[in-house]
Amino acid sequence: MADDTFVLERSPSHLLHRAQQLAAGGFQRALGSDKITLRQFAVLAAIAGKTGLTQTDLVNATGIDRSTLADMVMRMEDNGLLSRGRAEDDGRAKSVSLTSAGRAAFNSAGPSAKEADDRLMAVIPRAKRSALVEALQALAAAAAAFEAEEPAPVKRGRKAPTRRKTATKRKPAARRPAARRARR
């Protein structure tokens, strides 16, 4: 087999995806299915570590895309875990903070998150664990740098969609009177 042949079982992208599935599943098992998700916990942890974060700060800290994060913050606010207010340094931005229920949820989930991480790392030989964490940190930093530098991709070869006037729906040919079908 040539060295340039794609092998799924050796693909870093595929293996990272599988590892993420294991991590998320382990977190949900440790915490329980009726509690917060791994990504919600990441939002709580980011806010617990630094008060007054804006939603943009949370995007940068968690890697969750802007629209998904906005929906998550809204749902978490509706569930009483977060509150939003004006950011101190930018009146246009919203700062996000933990409510007392959010702090309690974070503190309650912390031991389960630690347990899930410990179980995940137990699969890795002890001598390779710090190297794995360093490699993952490097990948996370590269992702953040890439997202900060790269504008959204532009699709080439297609015209931008234009607004069309709404046309009345035409009846299929079989339903039009025969005289009208003949004119076409």
Assigned domain for 137 exists: no
Assigned domain for 130 exists: no
Assigned domain for 93 exists: yes
Assigned domain for 105 exists: yes
Rounded (10°) angle between helices 55-62 and 38-49: 120
Local confidence band at 11 (pLDDT 50, 70, 90 cut-offs) = very high
CA distance linking residue 84 with residue 101, whole number of Å? 14
Counted domains in the chain = 1
Assigned domain for 17 exists: yes
**Residues of the domain holding 22:** 9-125
Backbone dihedral region for residue 53 (phi beyond 0: left; psi -120 to 50: alpha; all else: beta): beta
* CATH code for position 79: 1.10.10.10
Assigned domain for 72 exists: yes
Reported as a single tens digit per residue, the pLDDT across 120-168 is 999 999 999 999 999 999 999 998 888 777 655 555 555 555 555 555 5
Q: Compute the average pLDDT of residues 28-39.
A: 84
Assigned domain for 110 exists: yes
- For residue 49, the model assigns a pLDDT of 86
| 3-class DSSP state of 156 | coil
Assigned domain for 45 exists: yes
